[in-house]
Each structure stands twice: as C-alpha cells, then as structure tokens.
Structure 1
Amino acid sequence: MQLVVTVVLARLLQPEDFGLMAMVMVFTSFSVLLIESGLGSALVQRQTTSPDEESSVFVVNLGLGCMLTVLLWLCAPAIAHFYRQPALLSLVQLMVWVLPLSALATVPAAVLTQRLDFRSRMLAELFASGCGAGLALLLAWHGQGVSSLAWQIIAAAGVRMLLLWYLSGWRPRGRFDAPALVQLLRFGGPLLLANLLNVASTRLQSLLIGRLFDARTLGFYAIAQDTQQAPAQFLGSLLNRVGLPMFSIVANQPEKLAGALRLSLRLSVFVFTPCMMGIAVIATPLIRLLYGDNWAPAGPLLSLLALSAVFWPLHVLNLAAVSAIGKADLVLRLEIVKTLVTIPLVMVAAFIGVTAVAGAVFISSLLCVVINTWHSQRLFGYGLRAQLRDALPTVVLALMSTGVAALGLRSSIAASASMPTAIFVAAFSAACTYVIGAASSRLQAWRDLLSFVRTLWSRSPAGQGELK
C-alpha cells in the first residue's frame, strides 16, 4: 500500500518534497526507535508477562515519548540550520506528534505479537495505512506539498494506536515495578542499542546526502531507497514479527531452532532473491513507469540498492534467532561491528557522489552477511557455509532467470515496445524460467514452498471442505 501511495504522490509532489521528508526522518526514526524497540521486544521474547511488567513498560515508553517530543521540537531550528533548509523548522515541529502516538501503541502491539495474533495487527496496520494514505493524497491534490507526507505518517500512527488498543483489549492494570523493568532492560537494552546502530548506518546516507548536496538529489535517493525497501521492509517485518515469537517457543531446543531457521531461510530466499534481482535489472524502466520520466536519475541508484538486499533474509533471520534465545548482547556486538564497517564506507562514498553511496551500501551488505551469521554456527550448528549452501541453488536459478529478464527487456525495447509491455515481457519470461527451473530440478526450497502452501490450504475452510 505504501508503495502504491508513493507512486501517486511522486506524480503530485516534487523530488524536493521527498528530500525534505528524508531529512526529517533521520531524526524522527531515531526517536520512534527509542520508544518502540527494546522493551517491546523484551515483552515478546518473555512470552508470558505480568500486568506489572506491561504497565511499567507503558509508563517508561510514554514518558520517553513525551520527553523526546519536547526535545525534538526545541531542536527544530538547529536541524533546519544544519541542512540550510528553513522549511524544515515547521516540518520538524509537525512531525514530533508521531512520537507520543507511537509510545501509546508499543505495549498493545507487543501483547498481540506475544499472543501470535497477527491477524489483529494486520487489520490495525492495514486500516491505519489506508487512512494515512487517503489523507496524504487529498492534501497533495490540494497543493499542500511536503506537509501531506508528514500528515500521512501522523494519521497512520494515530489510527494504528487506537485500533491496537481496541483489538488487544490491553489496559495498564498493573503498578510500576522497577525490579521487573530492570529485568526487561537486561534483554531490551542491548537490543535497543543494536537497533539504533542499525538505523544510524541507514539514516547516515540521508544525513550526508542532504548536507553535501540538496533536497532534490536526496529526493531521488529517497525514492530509490523507498522502492527497494518496500519489499525488503515487508519481508523484514514479516520475518521479525513471526520469527522472534516462533523461534522463542523452541529457544530451549537447539535442534528444532536450527531446523526452523533453516526452513525459514530456504523459503524466504526462494521468494525474495529473484524479486530483488529482477528489480535491479529493470530499475530504470520501472522508475520511469511508476514515478514518471523526471524521476529517471533514481534508476541506477535503485539497481545498486536492490542488489544490496538480495541476502536480506539471512540478515533478519539470524538476528531473530539469536534474539530468541535471549542473547541480546551478541546482537549488540554484531551491530557494533557492522556499524564500524558500514559508516566509514558510506562517509567516504558520500564525498564521491550519490551513486557511490549506493555502491557502498551494496559492499557493506555483502560484508554484513558474514557478520550476521557469525554466532549461528556456534549456537545452532548452522553457520555461513551451511546457509550459503542452502541458498546457492536458489541464487544460481535466480541469476539465470534475471539473465532471461535482461534479454527480454532488451529485445522488447529494440522492438520499440511500450514501457509497460517491455517490463511485462521481462518479468513474465523470468518468472516462467524460475518456476520451471525450480520444478524440473526439484529444488528443495520449491518443495518446501509447495508443502507450506498445501498445509495452509488444508487448514483453510475451503481446504477442509474439500477434504470432507
């Protein structure tokens, strides 16, 4: 939904508007992460928590949210001065209202995840995204510019918070319990710092581009990043929300945890890898088709960023497995090492150019695969070599399919086909090659996927009726 809305907004707004929002998100994303991560993840990892623990987390998050709201409001003039963009003053002071709304939603969201009630979370977030999108499109249509992007985020956060409270039925019925909070912080604290370091390495790209170049250049990079992150964040959010609680259930059974990690990795790599390789091949035509010709400079950036996300499932699942067994300190150590690798690469690349920044992200992503799988061999007996061995057949098949897509795209363009037709031919030919190759070679990931689909079907009302 976010990708569809961005496509429409990009035709109503200017690249400068998206650049200004990316500048603000450098600071608001840190603040939201401070509020939502750490203690919320600690509640999920504990599986069962008391009303006192939940109420203690709620009080701390709400207090932190209010404090950060005031702090960011006061820092708005300094942020505008740093970027040399006066328009950021009012934009930052508008965006701060997302912080208390996020604070109010943290515990109800954690409670639903703890219950594995993903249906309720889906309903809340889908409806909230729809409300935010509708408001943004209305404001953009009436010429409100970058403020339409800000109100989209605020409205979605407010509706999400209200629905999570309603659907979870959670209320702060306990009392503040400092010892219980300390126990949660022992897990949540290192995880929070790890997430902050991860966001720092990501948002540093926008910080440097916005400072060294201009809002328009940052707008191109932001669109490329948003397009790449649409599938990446979808998969990452799905694997985190399902992976952490499910891995936590078998956290005390290393063999079962390793098996769950292996199956999850095979399935996610099989679905995700060809998608990102395909986006890398058709990046420039895709950007032109979705956003218009004036966004064409984002195409080469999208190619590099899409390639950097090819092994994203390995990043997410290994960290989720380590978190599930309560080793948040190890997650923190991994993030520290990754930050020491990523930040210097991005900083050096920023002085070369925007394309160099995307290239630095690609290089750091490859290096971080090694880092994120470092502890998996010792903890689960399923390290980098074994994971690459499981992923290699899928990657080879995806490369072959991507080559077919490139040939199809080139042939269609040479035949003067329209842009939608060229993209369709490339995608269809690649998909057919991929599925036929997986089925004919009896790829293990393909068999896992069929088994997974059959299980879902047998548990559905339609499937049960057919069995009867």
Structure 2
Amino acid sequence: MSSPSTSAPELGTSDVKVRAQRSIIALGLRTLGSLGLRVVSSLALSHLLFPGDYGAFAIVAFTAAMGAFLGDLGLSAALVRQQHEPTQDEISTSFWSHQAFTVCVVGILLVLAPLLSRSYELGPSGTAMVSVMALGLFFHSLRVIPIMVLERQLHFPALARIELIEGVAQTASTILLAWLGLGAWALIGGGLVRGGLGMLMLWSAAGWRPRGKVRWTIVKRLLGFGIWFQLTGLIPAVLNGWIPLVVGRMEGKDAVGLVNWATALASVPLALSSVLTRVAYPAYSRLQADSTALADYLRTSIRRISALLCLVIPFGVIALPPFIPVVFGARWSLASTLVQWFTIEASMQAVQGLLFSQQHASGHARERMYVATLSSLLRFGLGTLAVMQWGIVGVGVSATAITLTELWLTARLVARRAPELSRLEFEVMEPFLTVGALLALALGLSRLATGQGGLLVQALVAAGLLTALVLAREATRRGLSLLGELRAIVQHVRARRAPP
C-alpha cells in the first residue's frame, strides 16, 4: 500500500475530478461490501441479542460519541479545507492537540462513569461499560491525522480497503461475543476490535509519524474554522441525547433499543450516499476558488443521488412491514413503522450531506452550525411531544418533518450565496415532495383495496400502485426526470469503462 506524502503537490481542477471519481468507485465497492456485512450482522445479532442489549449499548455509545466530539475541535477538518498543503508544524500541532483534548475528556468520563450508570439505570456493569468505551476514544483520536492525510489527497481507495477489513473484523468479533452470551458487551467489544485494527492500518497507509510540538499560533488559526465545523456535529449530538433520556424514561430501556435498532437498519440510504458526501468535502474544498465548477459538481451530485434514492427508497419503505418480522423475528416487528419513517428521513439526509459539504468547503461553517442548532432544538422539543402523543413512532414522524424543513432551508442558504445555483431549492425539494406524496397515496389506496389482507398483500398492491404513479409523474416531464437521470448515470459509467 503506497504512502501518500504530506507535502504532495497542489491538485488542479481536472485532477480533483479524476481522483474524486476514482474515490467514489472505491468507496462504492466498499459500501456494497459493508452492506453485505451489515446484513449478516443484523440477521445474526437479531437472534442473539435483545432490545435491552441495544438500549444499554445506545446509552453507553452516546456518552462515548460526546467524548469523541469534545476531543476533536475540528483542527483536522481545517487542514483538509485550507488551500495550501499542510506543513509539518500544522500537522504535528493538530495531532498533539487532539491527544491532549482526548486525555482530558477520557479522565472526565472515567470520573463520571458511576453517575452516568446510575442515571441511565445501566445495571451493575454500567460503570465498566462507560469506562471501557471512554478508553476506546484513544483509538479515535490516534486515527484522526492519518485519515486527514489520506482524505486531503483524495486517497480514498486506501481508506476503502482499510474500512472493509475493519468491517469484517467488527462483524466477526461482535457475532462471536454475542454467541458467547455477552449481550451489550458484544457490541462494545466489536467496536473496540474495529478501532484498534483500523488505527494500525491507517498509520501504515498514511506514512506519517508524530513529531514536533504544539504551536499555539497554529491552534488559534485552525480553531477559527475548526470550532464552528465541530460544533455543527457536537451540538446536534448533545441534543440528540433526548432520545435515550426521554424515550427511556417514558417508554423504557427496551424502547430505546428499538429506536437504536431502527436507526441502524434505516441507515442503508446514508451508507450508500455517504460515498458522495465523504468525497464531496475535500473535493469541494479543492474547487472553492472555481465557483462555476463547484456549482456544476454540486448540482450534478444532487440530481443523481436524488434520482437514485427516489426510485429505490419508496419501494423499500413499502416492503419493510412484511420483511422485518420474517427476517429478523417477531420481537422487532414493533419497530417496523419507525424504520419506515427513519428510512424516508435518511434519504433526505443523504442530499443534505452534499449541501453541508458545500457550506463547509466555502467557509460557512458558522452558518451551518446555527441551522444545525435550531434543527436539534426542534427535534428535542417536538420529538418529546410526539413521543407523548404516538409513542416511539413519534420519534420518526418528528425527525422526518424537521429534516424536510432543514433541507429546504439549507438549499436556500447555499443558493443565495452563489448565482450559479439559482432555483436550487426547487431542484432539491421537488423530487422528495412529489414522490413522497405518491408513496403516501399508494400506501393509503393499498390499505383501502386490501382491507384485512396481510402485510405482504398490502405491500405488493402498494408497490404496483407506486410504480404506476411514478411512471405517470415521469410522463408529465415536470421537475427532475428520475428515469432520465438514471439513464445519464448509466451512460456516464459506460463511457468511463469504454477503452480510450
């Protein structure tokens, strides 16, 4: 595996696009492999673990996620975005700062572990679980700079190979530990195996070793962007703590487990779209000086991911109610409706991720933070009311409505700053609104037509109705042509495979 240099030459626009396309292909193949591993893991763990195990892990993982955010002030993200290649002083400063922040966070979590265990009623092993997850944060902090080095130069094929190996190791170890009857510890152990193995491989691939010292002038400069970048993830993550807190208090630990399990299952659209989103930030950062090229890249990416999602996700939503109890067992059937809502939300988040990348790459991380904070506050307030009204399904209903609103607002903010992106709001919202309305109509008509028919019959009728309605939409030629964009994607792939 080659080792990219931290002093690599600047990339031109054509180089960025070529590397970005290669990265998308590599990450796409990795994602397919990861989805296969997820299927294997979900099928095995759904029979070896219980909702309570997922609930305990979700609560412990939340505290660890907070620690990871607090230990990373966005310094590496600032290095990815800056136009000049990072110097050795900049990289060393970022590395040692990450380690110092992480030491502080881990120490605090270790002190608070007994309190957190009692507050969330994690049982006798709760303190140990929080402590182990806290120490595991070093696996995260030690990999930040190697990932930055690889992402900065768009060396995603190397990252894709590493992440696929990580996934295999995590899946195998988690299933083994669950089979041994370790419950929530199986999920924790699998994550630690992944973190340790991945850290070693990333250091080997990046070819960089820590040296130098912290220069506070560099820290202050990088924090000017990094702190806002990090807050856009930290604030929503903190406020999302309402799910284990509120749902756990109102509905119990098993309900938290159902929500966590539903979120994981519904994240398939995000797994596929994260390929584009992950490449987008470093690629957009390289193109920030060429506004026309950046606008064209963003618009094309949004059209293509929207078309794919709107043609696939609605049929997946229809298939979920009969699919979940048959494949995963009756114990998870209570989460079927919740998975449907989360899947719809995830499809919108996929497009939203591209808009977030553009905001960060163009230096508007503070604007993104304000929107993320407002959205998270609404999720907390409206989500709590929705849970009181509809139970755990209210989490999905409120989250989907707020994500739709946030998607429109973000598209409007991005379009306002770039004349090349006029009418972007319409292009972003139209396919989700129209196809979403057709999905609701198909589901409603199928229930009326089948009456007391089984879930499978309802799903088949709804799928047929949705197919007819989508074809009718395509015939009108209004808004984004889903099939036309799909043909454009196929032609692009064929053109790349054609011999020169």
Q: TM-score w.r.t. structure 1 length?
A: 0.87
Give the % identical residues.
23
- Which position in structure 1 is the counterpart of 2:42? 6
- Structure 2 residue 182 is the aligned partner of structure 1 residue 144: yes
Shift of 1:338: 2.0
Show the counterpart of 2:340: 303
Structure 1 residue runs of 5 or longer lacking an equivalent are: none
1:367/1:76 Cα in 2 relative to 1: closer, same or farther (>3 Å)?
same
Q: Which residue of 2 aligns with 1:230?
A: 268
Please point out which of 34, 53, 57 is paired with 1:21: 57
Equivalent position of 1:205 in the other structure: 243
Task: Indicate the residue corresponding to 2:315 in structure 1.
Answer: 278
The alignment status of 1:263 with 2:303, answered yes or no, reads no
Match of 1:239 among 273, 276, 279: 276
After superposition, the C-alpha distances for 1:59-106 in whole angstroms (9 at most, x for unaligned) are 111222222222212211111111122232222122223200000000
Alpha-carbon distance in structure 2 between the residues aligned to 1:145 and 1:376: 45
In structure 1, C-alpha distance between the alignment counterparts of 2:229 and 2:212, rounded to whole Å? 25
Shift in Å, 1:210: 2.1
State whether residues 162 and 202 of structure 2, in contact with CA within 8 Å, keep that contact through their aligned partners in structure 1. Answer: yes
Change (3 A) 1:278 1:35: farther
The answer (yes or no) to whether the contact 2:284–2:361 under 8 Å persists in 1 is yes
Q: 1:179 — aligned with what?
A: 217
Whole-angstrom distance in 2 between the partners of 1:436 and 1:130: 43
Alpha-carbon spacing, 1:435–1:131, altered in 2? closer, same or farther (3 Å): farther
Matched with 2:105 is: 68
Look up the match of 1:326.
Answer: 363
Task: Select 1:396's aligned residue among 434, 441, 464.
Answer: 434
Residue aligning to 1:80:
117
Judging changes above 3 Å, is the alpha-carbon distance between structure 1 residues 172 and 435 closer, same or farther for their aligned structure 2 residues? farther
Q: Secondary structure at the match of 1:309?
A: helix
Deviation at 1:36, TM superposition (A): 4.7
Q: CA deviation at 1:265?
A: 0.8
Contact between 1:283 and 1:299, CA under 8 Å: does it hold in 2?
yes
2: CA distance between counterparts of 1:459 and 1:262? 20
Q: Deviations over 1:180-220 (max 9, x none)?
A: 22211111111111111122343422232123332211111
Give 1:230 shift. 3.0
Question: In structure 2, do the counterparts of structure 1 residues 439 and 243 end up closer, same or farther at CA, with 3 Å as the change threshold?
Answer: farther
Aligned position for 2:90: 53
Q: Structure 1, residues 402-426: CA drift from partner, whole Å, max 9, x if none?
A: 8668878999998879x6x987897
Equivalent residue number for residue 112 of structure 1: 150
Distance 1:75 1:232 in 2: 33
Distance in structure 2 (CA, Å) of the matches to 1:123 and 1:409: 45
Letter paired with 1:250: L
Farther-moved stretch of structure 1 (152-161 vs 331-340): 331-340
Distance 2:237 2:225 in 1: 19
User: Is the contact between residue 318 and residue 459 of structure 2 (CA under 8 Å) also seen in structure 1?
Assistant: no
* Partner Cα separation in structure 1 for residue 264 and residue 230 of structure 2: 23
Moved more, 43-52 or 117-126: 43-52
SS of the residue aligned with 1:296? helix
1:220 is aligned, of 258, 262, 265, to 258
Q: Which amino acid aligns with 2:369?
A: L
- How has the CA–CA distance of structure 1 residues 92 and 267 changed in structure 2, closer, same or farther, with 3 Å as cutoff? same
1:173: how far off?
4.2
Shift of 1:247: 1.2
Partner of 1:377: 415
Query: Greater CA deviation, 282-291 or 380-389?
Result: 380-389
2:375 equivalent in structure 1: 338
Alignment of 1:310-459 (within 5 A): 310-352=347-389, 353-381=391-419, 385-389=423-427, 392-393=430-431, 396=434, 400=438, 444=481, 446-459=483-496
Which residue among 126, 130, 134 is the counterpart of 1:92?
A: 130
1:382 Cα deviation after fit: 6.5
Rounded Cα–Cα distance in structure 1 between residues aligned with 2:122 and 2:72? 29
CA positional deviation for 1:233: 4.5
The Cα of 1:119 is off from its aligned counterpart by: 0.6
Choose 444-453 or 425-434, whichever is displaced more.
425-434
The answer for the alignment partner of 1:32 in structure 2 is 68
Output one character per residue of 1:238-263: Cα deviation in whole Å (capped at 9) or x when no partner: 23321111111221222222222211
TM-superposed CA distance for 1:132, in Å, is 0.9
Structure 2 equivalent of residue 191 of structure 1: 229
1:201–1:343: 8 Å Cα contact kept in structure 2?
A: yes
Q: How many residues align?
A: 460
Aligned equivalents of 1:226, 1:197: Cα separation in 2: 21
Root mean square deviation, CA, Å: 3.1
Alpha carbons of structure 1 residues 394 and 75: separation in structure 2 relative to 1, 3 Å:
closer
Match of 2:288 in 1: 251
How far apart are residue 175 of structure 1 and its match? 3.7
The change in CA–CA distance for 1:11 and 1:92 in structure 2 (over 3 A counts) is: same
CA contact (8 A) 1:276 1:309 kept: no
Checking the alignment, whether the CA contact within 8 Å between 1:114 and 1:245 is kept in structure 2 is yes
Specify the code of the residue in structure 2 equivalent to 1:21.
Answer: F
